[in-house]
Chains A and B, each alone.
Chain A
C-alpha cells in the first residue's frame, strides 16, 4: 500500500476514533441526558469489565472451554477469590500468574 493511502488511513482512523471518544463529552452534558440514560451510566463499569474478563477465561483459545485443561479458567477462578477478598490488584495478578505458570509446568 502506498504512503498516501497509509496516511489517509491513519488520519481517517484518528478522526473517527477521536470523534467517538469526544462525542458525549463535548456534545451532551449531563443535564441534557434523559433521566434513564443518566442512571444507566452507573452500570457501564461493571458491565464493561465483566465483558472484558469472561471471554479471556472461557474462550482463551477461541472455542468455549470449561475443561480442566483450560488453565486460564482455573487460574482466573483462584484469582477471582483473591480479588474479592483483598481488592488488591498486584496480589490478584501475582496469584493468577503464579497459578497459571504452575499449571502449565505441572501438567
Chain B
C-alpha cells in the first residue's frame, strides 16, 4: 500500500476517511435498502431465479437499470436489446466518470478500477461533496468507504428481498429519504451564481423531462444545467476582463 504524504492542516488516516465515507452514506441507505428488497422480490415475480437475481446486483450494480431490465425480461424482450437499454440508462454515469477523473488522476490503476466499479448516483453525490473540501489527499479512502457501504447494502437488501420478500409498507415513504438527503448535499455546492444557475436549470428541466424513458430526462437536464453554469461563468470572467481593461 502506498502511503500518501500527510496533509498539513488536518491530520487524518485512511481508516478515518473510510469510516467517514461509509457513515455519510448511511442516510441514503434508508431510501436505497427498500429499493434493493423490492428489486429482489420483483425479480422473482418476473421469472428470474434467485441466483441470477442476486447476480444482477452483484455484477451490474445499478438500481434503475436493474429495475428496467427486470421489466423487459418479464416482457420477453431479446437479451441484446436489454443490454443496450442498460447502457442507455447508465449513460448518465459519463458525467460522474468525467468529474471523478479529475479527482483520481494521481491514483494507481487498481484504485481507479475499484472506485469506477463502485461509481453510482449515491456514491458520486456523497463523494463529490467531500472533494469540495481542501484536504483531499486521502479522499479516495472516503470515496471507497461510501461506495462500498452502498454496495454491501445493495447486496444485502437484494438478498433479503429474494429470500423474504419486500416487507416494508409503502406508506412509510422511506424512498423520500433520498431527495431529502440530496437537499442537504446540494447546499454546499451552491457557492456562487453560476452554480445556482446550473442547479435551477437542471431542476426545472428534470421536472419537464421526467416523462422521458431510460433516465434520459436526468441526463439531459443535468447536461443542460452544466452548460448554463459554464456559460454564465465564461460570460462573467469575460465581463470582469473587459472591466479591468477599461477601468
How distant is A1 from chain B, measured CB to nearest CB, in Å? 6
Cα of A61 to Cα of B183 in the assembled complex, Å: 20
Given contact pairs A13-B69, A21-B116, A90 touches B79 in the complex (Cβ within 8 A): no
B207 to A46, Cβ gap below 8 A? no
The 6 A-B residue pairs with the shortest CB-CB distance in the complex, in nearest-first order: A47-B225, A43-B229, A12-B83, A50-B203, A51-B206, A47-B202
Chain A contact-residue range equals 35 or more
B188 within 8 A of A: yes
Cα of A38 to Cα of B226 in the assembled complex, Å: 11
Given contact pairs A42-B195, A76-B180, A51 touches B117 in the complex (Cβ within 8 A): no
Given contact pairs A9-B69, A79-B180, A87-B188, A23 touches B198 in the complex (Cβ within 8 A): no
B181: which A residues are within 8 A, CB to CB? Answer: 89, 92-93
22 contacts between A and B (CB under 8 A): A13-B69, A16-B86, A18-B117, A20-B87, A22-B112, A22-B116, A23-B94, A40-B226, A45-B99, A45-B186, A46-B196, A47-B223, A48-B96, A48-B124, A48-B125, A48-B202, A54-B204, A54-B206, A75-B176, A89-B185, A93-B30, A93-B180
Residues of A within 8 A of B (CB): 1, 3, 5-14, 16-18, 20-26, 28-31, 33, 36-59, 64, 72, 75-76, 79-80, 83-84, 87-90, 92-93, 96-97, 100-101, 104
Given contact pairs A9-B83, A33-B102, A42-B195, A17 touches B203 in the complex (Cβ within 8 A): no
Cα of A96 to Cα of B82 in the assembled complex, Å: 37
A1 to B47, Cβ gap below 8 A? yes
Cα of A16 to Cα of B179 in the assembled complex, Å: 27
Our pick among A20, A29, A58, A76 for the contact of B97 (Cβ within 8 Å) is A20
Of B9-17, B52-60, B150-158, the stretch lying at the interface with chain A is B52-60
A87 to B189, Cβ gap below 8 A? no
Our pick among A14, A26, A48, A93 for the contact of B116 (Cβ within 8 Å) is A26
B219 and chain A: residue at smallest CB distance = A51
Cα of A4 to Cα of B44 in the assembled complex, Å: 17
Cα of A77 to Cα of B188 in the assembled complex, Å: 18
Most chain B CB inside 10 Å of its own CB: which residue of A9, A24, A96: A9
B32 within 8 A of A: no
B182 within 8 A of A: yes
Known: A48-B218, A92-B184. 17 other contacts (CB 8 A): A1-B73, A9-B69, A18-B117, A21-B97, A23-B94, A24-B98, A46-B225, A47-B201, A47-B223, A48-B95, A48-B125, A48-B222, A50-B203, A53-B183, A84-B187, A87-B188, A97-B180
B94: which A residues are within 8 A, CB to CB? Answer: 20, 23-24
Chain B contact-residue range equals 35 or more
Our pick among B115, B117, B186 for the contact of A49 (Cβ within 8 Å) is B186
Our pick among A9, A46, A53, A90 for the contact of B82 (Cβ within 8 Å) is A9
B217: which A residues are within 8 A, CB to CB? Answer: 51, 55
B136 within 8 A of A: no
